[in-house]
Structure 1
């Protein structure tokens, strides 16, 4: 049965492996930890640019009001395409 760990638990395991001096593969074998999962989490936790995008569980919002254009000279409106993955796109359009 797979054991699901929180990011905090993975961070503890990564720290323990680093401090004990064992290679990652030996540490995982001794602790009955999936080596590929360990390596994946070690990379995720060491790269701050991925922390926001990997699912902190919190929603993020982007203010699009600057795209609205408050004057007639700002153009005909906006067109937004959100790529949601797996070929799924959400398209928003406004006609001026």
Structure 2
């Protein structure tokens, strides 16, 4: 009968394999772990971490209302550049 492992235990095994220098197949054979199960869990845990990273990198709002109250008589106006990634920028400017 196969042993049930928690996601935390699978993560520990994935980390051990990575640090061992062994291939996944060699590691699984050495630890008596099913290779297909190991690969499925490694992918599942990797996808979960990627999702967490993406959620952490989500954009947030910045209140720019203070820029709108700036005196246009000063002639300074405003210039806003939003970097959207992959070299894409959105530029907003106001002429005094």
Normalising by structure 2, we get a TM-score of 0.48
Normalising by structure 1, we get a TM-score of 0.48
Task: Point out the structure with the larger helix share.
Answer: 2
